[in-house]
């Protein structure tokens, strides 16, 4: 085994267990997909191997080709259906960050600049993710981390931790409690957002899959953070639009792709309206 056997279970989901462990003395995370007794053993092994391989490939692809911050993949054991990844110090999930902002919002009845920054940043990163051809499959605020500490990969790369100015939607500006300098835009750092858990990435990547990805996040935000009911979608989609059309370093010189990215973004938002309509219909029918 490539990592030490001593490990501590930190999370168990429907398909995998996540452990904190050491990898050659380095703090690490091990994600291991466990067998399902109701499936044929041969089918079960094949499915778990495929999903493990797909997750590892997407983690590497997003990080090294499209400069999206994901945990560094340290090792993959296909037979054991396990991935070892770096343990990221000093970060909190977006859910934890928004929960901390909730009390401030409850006291004033208005959102904070930090909330605006978090939601715009998350939307921007999702836009880049979709532009890279990856649909996450399980977008929730628990699957993103906010980490202000620098990442050595971005420090040493040709595109370091850039900051990008994003416009704050007009409908949101008047609802910000601590915007004392009346900023109409805010600078975000995509490298401060870490994308987690690529275990449910679908094989397809089209406007339907991207729209469903966004719809799942919209519903998750309303369910987990209802105090953001009137602002979360506006900020999320404002960031998403910017990220979807923004040139990443790997394609920065390919100006012909900007039109294609804009068309893809518009098609996704058009399909999102249809997905929302289907969701409302199901809610009414029960």
CATH of the domain at 14: 3.30.200.20
In the block, which residue shows the tokens 């519903």? Answer: 219
pLDDT of 161 above 60? no
Same domain, residue pair 223 and 99: yes
pLDDT of 217 above 80? yes
The residue ranking higher by pLDDT, 6 or 13, is 13
pLDDT of 59 above 70? yes
> At a CB cut-off of 8 Å and minimum separation 6, what does 176 contact?
110, 111, 112, 113, 116, 168
Q: Tell me whether residue 249 is in a domain.
A: yes
Same domain, residue pair 42 and 99: no
CATH number at residue 178: 1.10.510.10
Taking residues 39-48, report their average pLDDT. Answer: 97
Q: Tell me whether residue 16 is in a domain.
A: yes
Picking from 86, 106, 139, the residue at the C-terminal end of a domain is 86
Taking residues 91-113, report their average pLDDT. Answer: 93
Q: Tell me whether residue 285 is in a domain.
A: no
Same domain, residue pair 45 and 149: no
> Residue 284: what are its φ and ψ, rounded to 5°?
-70, -40
Same domain, residue pair 168 and 97: yes
CA distance 19 to 37: 22
Sign of CA dihedral 66, 67, 71, 73: positive
Q: Tell me whether residue 284 is in a domain.
A: no
DSSP bridge pairs for 31: 18, 83
How high is the pLDDT of residue 163? Answer: 85
pLDDT of 159 above 80? no
Same domain, residue pair 74 and 96: no
Instruction: Give the chain's domain count.
Output: 2
Q: How confident is the model at residue 250 (pLDDT cuts 50, 70, 90)?
A: very low
Residues spanned by the domain of 171: 92-279
Same domain, residue pair 191 and 102: yes
Same domain, residue pair 80 and 97: no
Q: Tell me whether residue 111 is in a domain.
A: yes
How high is the pLDDT of residue 85? Answer: 97
Same domain, residue pair 30 and 164: no
Same domain, residue pair 74 and 97: no
Same domain, residue pair 125 and 62: no
Same domain, residue pair 145 and 256: yes
Tell me the catalytic residues. Answer: 138
Q: Tell me whether residue 2 is in a domain.
A: no
Whole-prediction pTM value?
A: 0.90
Picking from 86, 117, 135, the residue at the C-terminal end of a domain is 86
Q: Tell me whether residue 286 is in a domain.
A: no
How high is the pLDDT of residue 19? Answer: 97
DSSP string, 99-128: HHHHHHHHHHSSB-HHHHHHHHHHHHHHHH
Q: How confident is the model at residue 90 (pLDDT cuts 50, 70, 90)?
A: confident
Same domain, residue pair 181 and 74: no
Q: State the chain's mean pLDDT as an integer.
A: 89
Lowest mean pLDDT among 103-117, 182-196, 245-259: 245-259
Percent of the chain residues past pLDDT 90, beyond the cut: 70
């Amino acid at each position: 085994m490539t990592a030490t056997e001593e490990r501590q279970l930190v999370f168990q989901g429907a398909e995998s267990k996540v452990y904190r462990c050491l990898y050659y003395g380095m703090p690490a995370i091990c994600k291991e997909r466990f067998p399902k007794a109701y499936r044929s053993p041969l089918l079960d092994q094949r499915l778990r191997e495929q999903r493990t391989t797909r997750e590892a490939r997407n983690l590497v692809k997003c990080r090294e080709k499209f400069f999206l911050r994901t945990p560094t993949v340290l090792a993959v054991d296909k037979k054991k259906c396990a991935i070892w990844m770096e343990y990221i110090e000093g970060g909190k999930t977006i859910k934890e960050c928004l929960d901390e902002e909730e009390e401030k919002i409850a006291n004033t009845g208005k959102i904070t600049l930090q909330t605006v920054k978090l939601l715009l940043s998350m939307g921007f990163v999702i836009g880049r993710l979709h532009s890279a051809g990856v649909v996450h499959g399980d977008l929730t605020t628990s699957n993103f981390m906010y980490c202000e500490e620098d990442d050595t990969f971005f420090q040493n790369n040709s595109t370091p931790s850039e900051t990008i100015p994003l416009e704050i939607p007009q409908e949101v500006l008047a609802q910000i409690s601590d915007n004392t300098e009346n900023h109409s835009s805010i600078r975000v750092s995509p490298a401060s957002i870490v994308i987690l858990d690529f275990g449910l990435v679908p094989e397809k990547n089209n406007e339907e899959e991207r729209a469903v990805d966004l719809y799942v996040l919209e519903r998750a935000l309303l369910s987990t953070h209802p105090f953001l009911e009137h602002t979360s979608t506006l900020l999320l989609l404002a960031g998403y639009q910017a990220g979807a059309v923004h040139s990443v370093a790997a394609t920065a010189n390919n100006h012909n792709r900007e039109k294609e990215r804009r068309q893809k973004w518009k098609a996704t938002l058009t399909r999102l309206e249809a997905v929302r309509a289907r969701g409302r219909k199901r809610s009414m029918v029960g």
